[in-house]
Amino acid sequence: MVNQKKISFDITVYDSLNELTKEDRNLMSAAVKARKRAYAPYSKFNVGASVLLENGEIIEGNNQENASYPSGLCAERVAVFYAGARYPGMHIKAIAITAASLNHEVNEPAAPCGNCRQAISEYEFRQGKPIKMLLMGETGSIIECKSLSDLLPLGFNSSFLD
């Protein structure tokens, strides 16, 4: 018998940063600061990410491009990997991501690429708690997802390797 199932999730859409909690505004502000320091001479697409840890620390990351394109690294993985290296075992509460282009205005929320979704998923699975995602372009609305798994349903994790 063939069963068809639907996978869906809810998001919260904020019209402006003023609608976010103070904690979330601070997190997005850190992502914007990180975005402004991105090294993106090839794509001219600057991304900033900030990670809020359970101990209250905020870790920032930004995209780091390279003339040999596969050698670069996305902002989300820079921030998450640095958080994991600096505070091993510390749970991640939330991640804020923002993007801007030197070629055009980015007024839609920017979501992480597939590689970043998989990397963040590993942290979420390992800690056994959801990681809230806040997504923003340069201007416009902000999207909140309650968990990275909303952005990567049916994700691959270490349970498949047991």
Domain that holds residue 83: 23-151
pLDDT in tens, 91-107: 999 999 999 999 999 99
Q: Is residue 84 part of a domain?
A: yes
Measured between alpha carbons, how far is 146 from 48 in angstroms, rounded to an integer? 20
- For the question of whether the overall pTM of this predicted structure is more than 0.85, the answer is yes
Say whether 76 is catalytic: yes
pLDDT in tens, 54-82: 999 999 999 999 999 889 999 999 999 99
CB 23 within 8 A of CB 30: no
* CATH number (domain holding residue 62): 3.40.140.10
pLDDT in tens, 27-50: 999 999 999 999 999 999 999 999
Measured between alpha carbons, how far is 31 from 109 in angstroms, rounded to an integer? 13
Question: Is the sign of the CA dihedral 65, 66, 69, 74 positive or negative?
Answer: negative
Question: Is the sign of the CA dihedral 33, 34, 38, 43 positive or negative?
Answer: negative
| Candidates 76, 105, 108, 124; catalytic one | 76
Q: Is residue 12 part of a domain?
A: no
- One-letter amino acid of 120: I
